[in-house]
Amino acid sequence: MHDGTPMQDETARAAGHALAVAGLGKRVALPSGDLTILQDVAFRVGHGDTVAIVGASGSGKSTLLSLLAGLDTPSTGSVVLDGAPISTLDEDGRAKVRGEKVGFVFQSFQLLPSLTALENVMLPLELRGDREVDGPAREVLARVGLGERLGHYPRQLSGGEQQRVALARAFVTRPSLLFADEPTGNLDTATGQSIIELLFALNADAGTTLVLVTHDDHLAQRCKRRLRIDSGRLVADEAMTA
């Protein structure tokens, strides 16, 4: 039965899930001693699901999302992302999986200031070596309503427009998973609402699995499932009724 390594066993059990997390923990060494940021987090997400991670400020939500997306490595436990054991890969291996499978949207947009909207959206395609980058980038920018703003630099765009570019950049690779950390956190209510509508429309088009962190009740309510984090632990996992 158990002739594989623990990670091989975990990868096998995770088969068929968009995301499988087991025993996940993160500790950091501080001058004052070790700080445990996350402890013993476990859950699975099916393909095409929409999941909101909620919890107080400082509870560990952003740390968790970074581990799920392979932007950071855990101290304990495992993350299997669409069949890839991302928590055991080195930085190059994680970058490859991210390029193939992951889109990420941040609260602060994180566009490159020296690149135009079009260049920002082409970048993830270039980084993974796609040949056709211009056409797909133009298409998704048109889809987010910025077909007339291709040559604009981030500083020439409003916050809402910058987040639209960031959505275009996240979806242009057709990721199997999209992670978003407080995507409406820097936007006024009306602009945030339009970003939410766009996010869910793009998500429905692409059949992407969506995992987002939010303080925004409107946004959390749009997701089928809600995970609550408290002091680094998963304390509730609820299916939301429409």
Instruction: Give min distance, CB of 179 to ligand ADP, in A.
Output: 13
**Burial class of residue 151 (count of CB atoms within 10 Å of its CB; 0-12, 13-18, 19+):** exposed
Do the Cβ atoms of 163 and 195 come closer than 8 Å? Answer: yes
| Residues of this chain, 140-169, that bind ligand ADP according to CB under 6 A | none
Distance CA 154, CA 124 (A): 17
What is the spatial order of strands in the sheet that 50-54 belongs to?
A: 102-105, 177-181, 209-213, 50-54, 225-230, 233-239
Distance CA 65, CA 27 (A): 15
Is residue 32 a contact residue for ligand ADP (CB under 6 A)?
no
Pairing of strands 233-239, 225-230: antiparallel
| Residues of this chain, 42-61, that bind ligand ADP according to CB under 6 A | 55, 57-61
Is residue 112 a contact residue for ligand ADP (CB under 6 A)?
no
Binding partner selected for residue 172 from Mg ion, ligand ADP, none, CB under the kind-specific 5 to 8 Å limit: none
Binding partner selected for residue 67 from ligand ADP, Mg ion, none, CB under the kind-specific 5 to 8 Å limit: none
Binding partner selected for residue 85 from ligand ADP, Mg ion, none, CB under the kind-specific 5 to 8 Å limit: none
Chosen residue from 11, 39, 50, 62 binding Mg ion by CB under 5 A: 62
Instruction: Give min distance, CB of 129 to Mg ion, in A.
Output: 32
Is residue 63 a contact residue for ligand ADP (CB under 6 A)?
yes
What residues line the site for ligand ADP (CB under 6 A)? 28, 35, 37, 55, 57-63
